[in-house]
Amino acid sequence: MVDAAGGETVGRLVQSINKPHAATFFGSGKISELKSLCKARDADLAVFDEELTPAQGRNIERELCIRVIDRSELILDIFANRAKTHQAKLQVALAQLKYKLPRLKRMWTHLDRIKSAIGARGPGETQIESDRRLIRDKIKEYTEKLKQLTKIQERAIQQRKDFKVSLVGYTNAGKSTLMRRLTHDQDVYVADQLFATLDTLTRKLKIPNVGTCLLSDTVGFVDKLPHHLVSSFHATLSEAREADLLLHVVDCSDPLLVERVHTVERVLEELDCDNVPTLIVANKCDCEGAPVGLAELRSEVGDVLAISAATGEGCDDLLQAIQDDMSSQWETIELFIPYEEGALLNKIKLHSHVLKETVEEKGILFQLEIAPNIIDQWNLRHYQSTESL
């Protein structure tokens, strides 16, 4: 993950501990070992793959004499670098401010030293207070802005009449590649990097026999995603929350795929998306380790759809599954369409399952199954037969 932030890993130290040391996370022996390693490899930065408390960060930094960051800060940094749109930037900035607030003291430790030298509560203290106030004001402002954006976005999504499908999943699982494959849109950004996609992208997708749906590609999740970031991304993930169907894309060549699936499920729950019908799509079936992963996934979550977004294998079955899901939500309705509405007659036949067709003097009486969104879109209630079902 350090590479994703533009850094180069020069050394690694692992220790399994049941309970982290309250003051320095690792015990003093391990911290000395880490200090020597940092010196020997001339490291500029130490990254902890866990969240450190503000005090731990401060203490370790004092011991190592180099900058120390934790997993959350690293993830926030990657997100900050990738954010392109106003909304994504605002979301990351908000998460960074919330992260920073309890850690401000650490940034003022140099003033602490001066303070002790002159023996008084120096300017550092007041500066921290005013910085804290400034950050709190900004957090309030950004939260308000994001709330507005979320509202606008949710309203816009709810107004879309089409069936909505969202791609969700762990970062690098192949969501954007699948989006590209299904929509034939070469502009979808695909990359072998963490968090390649930060902004939701929505495209129309034709589904044979049942009309169009809206397919959205969303930001990928990761283990121990900073909590502030998850809450900030509420707006970006409106698409997933408002979806009629979620496609949970899993990289079945990933040895940690079962953990990844649970991570994604946990984040979806946090984002109130856990009530949306979900289909697990096992991607990267063309890869070497895929059969083992696929078997493991099946024993964990039951039957899944195996595909390869790269080669296209299984994608027709996926379209069929979307089609089945769309049509399972169809409504049975009886409509009387007069002959003068010839164009509508043809359109209806094309986008519904006609159960019964009775030719009458002035038009045709249909009993059919059709998507609720099409009924609204074409104002079909207007043609509903009085004896309708």
Single out the segment in contact with ligand GTP by CB under 6 A; choices: 95-103, 152-160, 168-176, 206-214: 168-176
Among 59, 72, 166, 176, binds Mg ion (CB under 5 A): 176
Q: Say how far residue 77 (Cα) sits from the centre of its chain.
A: 17
- By CB under 6 A, is residue 225 in contact with ligand GTP? no
Single out the segment in contact with ligand GTP by CB under 6 A; choices: 112-120, 143-151, 157-165, 281-289: 281-289
Q: Which residue has the tokens 């209630």?
A: 381
Q: How far is the CB of 1 from ligand GTP (least distance, A)?
A: 12
Nearer to ligand GTP, 55 or 287 (CB): 287
Nearer to ligand GTP, 58 or 181 (CB): 181
* Percent of residues in the chain assigned helix, strand, coil, to nearest 5: 50, 20, 35
- By CB under 5 A, is residue 200 in contact with Mg ion? no
Q: Tokens standing for 223?
A: 């283990």
Nearer to ligand GTP, 97 or 201 (CB): 201
Q: Which residues of 103-117 are buried (b: 16+ CB within 10 A; e: fewer)?
A: bebbebeebbeebee
Q: How far is the CB of 224 from ligand GTP (least distance, A)?
A: 16
Sign of CA dihedral 58, 59, 65, 71: negative
Residue 337 site contact among Mg ion, ligand GTP, none (CB < 5 to 8 Å, cut-off depends on kind): none
Q: Tokens standing for 324?
A: 């089945």
- By CB under 6 A, is residue 264 in contact with ligand GTP? no
Q: How far is the CB of 129 from ligand GTP (least distance, A)?
A: 39
Q: Where are the beta strands (DSSP E) in 93-210?
A: 163-169, 201-207
Q: How far is the CB of 204 from ligand GTP (least distance, A)?
A: 19
- By CB under 5 A, is residue 202 in contact with Mg ion? no
Beta-carbon contacts of 277 under 8 Å, excluding residues fewer than 6 positions away, are 244, 245, 246, 325
CA separation for the pair 200, 93 (Å, rounded): 18
Among 71, 100, 175, 260, binds ligand GTP (CB under 6 A): 175
Q: Tokens standing for 178?
A: 């699948």
The footprint of Mg ion (CB under 5 A) covers 175-176, 196-197
